[in-house]
Amino acid sequence: MTTARKSKRITIAALSIAVFAIFGAGCGPKEHELNAFVHDWEATTTGTEHVVEPPDVIEITSPTATEIDGETHAVGADGKVTLRLLGQVKVAGLTPVEISRKLEKLLATYYVEPTVTVRMITTSSKRIYVFGQVARGGTLPFTGRDTVLSVLSEAQPTYLAWKDQIKLIRPSHKDKKRHVITVNAYKLMEQGDLSLNMIMQEGDVLYVPPSPLAWVGLRVQEVLFPIQPVAQTIITPGQTKVSYDSLYGSDND
């Protein structure tokens, strides 16, 4: 048996073991995994609790202070916004409610009992991530209302995706730990089962793995990649000759 054939058999055996390992994985989250997401790692979901950072954009409404009423401002790199009447005001590190109270105190110099409301327009400083077998992967802005379903709808899993085994990964800010839960997106998207339509948190990673068959195909493609250019250079001259002969005929005709 040649070395190349032995190597090929070893590769196929390794891929087969990997497939069995994938199929042997659990198909749903365990109770303690689910509890970790529902309780210990409950997400901040309201815009009023979002901590503003550059380059977030906020909208200010004040029926009592026309100078700033209806204005939209992007938070500068220095964490400040520039407002008429008030000048530069630092808002980074505060929630919209806290910014409202701060502006009311500053406006109290000019108005009696001023009222201010601040709301988030864009939360560009916060991110969530999507990787794997999706058409639109990468970094997405975190809005505080993102769910697994809404993110998958935007990312668009490809035909290679293993929809039964999508991983929601939540990094921990303590002890460098993380929580991972498996979401059956097939039930979520095609059967309407919203029991696992988890609300995502800032920094969450949604990983869409390839199906077992797609995984094998991708690994085989990786194994064959080094020899594909060589094979193409061997095949191309022959193809060129056939094309030439079919068009102009050979000298032996």
Report domain extents, the chain. 25-44+126-214, 51-122
Q: Biggest alpha carbon distance in the chain?
A: 103
Query: Running DSSP on this structure, what letter comes out for residue 123?
Result: -
C-beta of residue 59 within 8 angstroms of C-beta of residue 72: yes
CA gap 125, 81 in Å, rounded: 15
Does 25-44+126-214 match 51-122 in CATH topology?
no
Q: Domain 51-122 is of which CATH architecture?
A: 2-Layer Sandwich (3.30)
Query: Running DSSP on this structure, what letter comes out for residue 37?
Result: I
Residue 225: what residue type? F
Cα-based distances in Å from 237 to 87, 156, 241, 247, 251: 72, 40, 6, 15, 18
25-44+126-214: CATH, from 3.10.560.10, 3.40.50.360, 1.10.3720.10, 3.40.50.1000:
3.10.560.10
Residue matched to tokens 């059967």: 191
pTM across the whole model: 0.56
What mean pLDDT comes out for the span 57-76? Answer: 94
C-beta of residue 38 within 8 angstroms of C-beta of residue 179: no
Residue 157 phi, psi (nearest 5)? -55, 140
What mean pLDDT comes out for the span 55-72? Answer: 94
CA gap 91, 79 in Å, rounded: 6
Share of the chain above pLDDT 90, in %: 32
pLDDT at 63 over 90: yes
Query: Running DSSP on this structure, what letter comes out for residue 215?
Result: H
How confident is the model at residue 248, as a pLDDT?
Answer: 44
Kindly tell me the sign of the dihedral angle through the C-alpha atoms of 169, 172, 175, 179.
Answer: negative
Q: Is 121 helix (H, G, I), strand (E, B) or coil?
A: strand
Q: What is the pLDDT of residues 110-160, one digit of tens each?
A: 999 999 999 988 877 788 999 999 999 888 888 777 888 889 988 999 988
Q: What is the pLDDT of residues 81-110, one digit of tens each?
A: 999 999 999 999 999 999 999 999 999 999
How confident is the model at residue 30, as a pLDDT?
Answer: 53
